[in-house]
Every structure is written in C-alpha cells, then in structure tokens.
Chains A and B, each alone.
Chain A
Amino acid sequence: MGTRQLELEVMRYDPEKDEAPHFQTYSVPCNEDWVILDAINYVKDNIDTTLAYRWSCHMMVCGSCGMMVNGEPVLTCKTFVRDLPDKVRIEPLENFPIERDLVVVLDDVMQKLHQVQPYIVRKDDPPEDAEYKQTRGQLMKFKQLTMCINCMCCYAACPQYGLNKDFIGPAALALAHRYNLDNRDQGKSDRLDILADHNGVWECSFVGACSEVCPKHVDPAAAIQQMKVDGAVEFWKQRLGIPGDKS
C-alpha cells in the first residue's frame, strides 16, 4: 500500500491564548486508503497532542467529525485522502463559533432542533394494546428525512444561516418536515407557528447547498420547498376558512 505525504493546514484557536484563529501546518505520512480523520488522528497521536476536534464512530453514523476540508463541509471519516490534492486545508465548520481548534459551538442548532418538536405529537389517546399503524407507502413519504445524523454540514453550507443566525436552518426544518409527513403525527399545526414564520422556511432562498453537501443524502432543500408549498396553501385555507389538515 502506497503512502503519501500530505500537508495539513489546520486551523488552530486557543481561547485562552489566541486573539484570532491561525493556521498550523503538519506534514503527515498517509496511507492512500486513509480518510482525513485518520490523518488528523495521526497528528493527535504522533505530532501534536494539543489539537482539539470531535469524532466518535469513524463510520458515518455519529455525525460528530464534520469539518471544512478545502472549503467544503464534509464528514472527515468519509473524505478519502486519495481524492484530495497534496495540500489540504482543514477548518472548523463554517457559520459556527469556534470553541477551540476544530471544535465548534453547537448550542444554537441544538436549541433549534428542540424548537421544531421533532417527535410524534398526538392529540388523542394511544390505541389500546396496539401500536400506531404505518404502511410502507406512508413510511416512504419521509424515510429519506430520517437519515439525518445532525452533523450540521448543511448549516456550514447554508449562506442564509451564515447571514442570519435566527434562521431555523436546513436540518431542523427537514426534521420538522419528517414529522409533518408522518401519518402517526398530529403536531403539524403546532409546528406551523415556527416553520411558517419569517425565520422559518421563508428565509430559505433555495441555494440548495445544504442538499449538495449532505453526506446522508437527506435533501433538506427539498423538504423546505415542500413546506413552502404547504405554507402557501395553508395560508389561503386559513383566510378562506377551509378547515386545515387532519391536525
């Protein structure tokens, strides 16, 4: 197996010493079949133990190793060394405050995910001694949206979130849509207040970057456009006094 020397330009920021982030270069002997996360782990293990970053599973499940690699928000466990040039620039995810080095502050999106009520809301009692029924067709309406692992690459790609931090943003809106489309859910009207408000779906201008960078092919941009269609229809239904959806 061939090795290749990679120049990693890593953004560093120490809140206790640095006024602003700066780049530090590490020369890393990489195996061709390594992913960028392996190269970063090599730095941590062999060159510089002070480097701070998040990772856990190394297999595209946990969603914690999202970073900017050559300007693109990616999961570093999914980004192969063989697909990259000899010089690689690694930065913390765009649009988030930097906690330290490659670690970003996620408080804002965590609060937003919570805000859209991402769980099944019921207005009636659950069926007795039975589960809620769902056909395969009903599941297929939203299955793609359940793939989100909250890596927040979509927020790093979204210029509207970068420009306006009040925007609810791609992952949280997609998650809201996932529950709106679930036949077991009755919370659509509860979510409408937040989703159809100024900082909800209307702040999206369909740049589409969120869907292009999503490592799990969730397609938040599609979900948001569908919610705009919903919102526009609901608006007229309300004005014309036509009863809304089931919920």
Chain B
Amino acid sequence: MSRRPYVREMSKTTWYMRNGRYRVYVLRELSSFLVAFYTFLVIYALSVLAAGSAVQWNSFLASQQGVGMIIFHGLALLYFLFYQTFPWFKLAPKAMPIQVGENKVADSKIIGAHYVAWIVVTAFIFWLAGVI
C-alpha cells in the first residue's frame, strides 16, 4: 500500500462558476463598483459646486438627464437593492448578534429593525432633499 493522494485544483479564475451559491456571491461583491461609481459621481458634483456658479451647476444637472440616465440609475438601484442592501440586512445579525438576558434575539427581529430604520433613513434623505 502506497499513499499517493490525488489533488483536485480549484481554478483561480473561474471557481465561481462551480455553483449558484458562488455566482450569487460574486454578483453581490460586484455591487461595490456601484458604490465606487456613485462616490466619485458625488465628488465630481461637489467639484462643480465648488466652482461656485449656478450656470455650471445647472449644466451639470442637465448632463445627468435623459432616458439613458433613467435606465442606468433604475437598473443600478435594483442591482444595489438586491445585491447589497438586502443581503447586508440579512447578514447583519450574524456579525452583530444580540443577546438579551439568557436568550439571543431572533434574527428576524434584527433584520426587521434594519428595514424599519432603512425606511426612516430614506424618508429623511428625501425630506432633506426637499422631495417630500
């Protein structure tokens, strides 16, 4: 009897095609591109604002209009909700479990609290922007 273990290598570049779970994970992580994109878009907006003229600001706003931008932001919103916001809320009780007295608080309660807080925060931002 001789030992000669056979090693199956995992592809470093295509491993996430192995199953649906890995693909969902990679899609989730790609939402970080949206965070980067919107962060730099806001920084750019601030640079326009810093230039200090209403004319430039209005032409920036005008450049952001159109059917293309509606579709882009609409898709981005859906992608972000389903591949960042909702997963993040779902996983939050894992990273930050809460124990009151002897028993752990049910995950569903922690997740529910996140959704309530999210609605409040969203309403606050819309109020701040003068939408509502």
Contact = CB atoms under 8 A, between A and B. Distances in A.
A20 B21 CA distance: 27
Contacts of B104: 140
Contact of B10 (A13, A163, A228, A229): A163
B99 A207 contact: no
B6 A15 contact: yes
A20 B97 contact: no
B42 interface: no
B67 to A, nearest CB: 37
Contact of B15 (A157, A162, A219): A162
Interface string B10-30: 101001101101100100010
B8 A229 contact: no
Interface residues of A, number: 37
B109 interface: no
A222 B95 contact: yes
A206 interface: yes
Given A140-B102, A222-B97, A98 B8 contact: yes
B51 to A, nearest CB: 38
Interface in B18-75: 18-19, 21-22, 25, 29
A244 interface: no
Interface bin, chain B: 20 to 34
A98 B6 contact: yes
B103 interface: yes
B29 A162 contact: no
B2 interface: yes
B101 A99 contact: no
A5 to B, nearest CB: 27
A159 B18 CA distance: 10
A224 to B, nearest CB: 9
Contacts of A137: 99, 101-103
17 contacts: A13-B6, A15-B3, A15-B5, A71-B19, A97-B5, A97-B6, A98-B8, A137-B103, A140-B99, A140-B102, A157-B21, A163-B12, A207-B21, A208-B21, A228-B95, A229-B95, A229-B96
Closest 6 CB pairs of A and B: A222-B94, A97-B5, A225-B95, A15-B4, A162-B10, A137-B102
Interface of A: 13, 15-16, 18, 20-21, 71-72, 94-95, 97-99, 105, 135-137, 140-141, 157, 159, 162-163, 205-209, 211-212, 219, 221-222, 225-226, 228-229
Given A206-B91, A226-B95, 8 more contacts: A15-B2, A95-B10, A135-B102, A159-B15, A159-B18, A207-B21, A207-B25, A229-B96
